[in-house]
Amino acid sequence: MAGSKSSKKVEPWQTPEWRAHCAAERQRFRDGLFYQLMAPVMGPVIVDLNGSDEEMWRREHDPVGARRLNLTRMVKARGLDPTDKYWAAYIQQGCEDESRTPAAQRKGLGARLDSLTNLAALKEECRAHGLPASGTKAKLSQRLRDYASGVEPSKGKRRRGA
């Protein structure tokens, strides 16, 4: 269609707000003591420690994707081919290791919580994450949401004389 405009999707790390955030983070790093001490030793390599805007976004919102970008960047920086069979397996193993970390599991849990609607499924999910599995649906759902967002769990009621 000659008369229609093609709408180009803007990725979250391409928004002006996120770019400003990344620029501020990089400036904060440059103002720090580590940069002041290591810049003469490391040279221009030190500027790239934060990675791209996309890598910084993924570090916050997608830990596994951030790990993949970071490992790929490290392999390329050494002049190696990340699509080589050995290095591709190395990058994949690093991503699998990252997906097993509690932070990555919490991100996945947050996405699944909306689909958990019955009490039995909520209890099973609580048990899977080592959380107390007693209470109402609302209480279990809130407990899982708190866990997914990284909030410290409450210790429960204190009993007198204990």
| Grouped pLDDT means (10 residues each) for the chain, 162 residues | 60 89 84 77 66 85 86 88 92 85 64 66 80 84 78 61 53
pTM confidence score? 0.54
What is the rounded CA–CA span in Å between residue 137 and residue 156? Answer: 17
Which SS3 state, helix, strand or coil, does residue 8 take?
A: coil
Backbone angles phi, psi at 130, to 5 degrees: 75, 25
pLDDT of residue 156: 58
Among candidates 154, 118, 102, which has minimal Cα distance to 110? 102
What pLDDT was estimated at residue 65? 86
Q: What is the pLDDT of residue 133?
A: 83
All structural domains of the chain with their residue ranges: 17-50, 60-100, 105-149
Burial class (CB in 10 A: 0-12, 13-18, 19+), 17: exposed
CB of 53 closer than 8 Å to CB of 22? yes
Residue 3: predicted pLDDT: 47
Q: How many Å is the maximal CA-CA distance in the chain?
A: 80
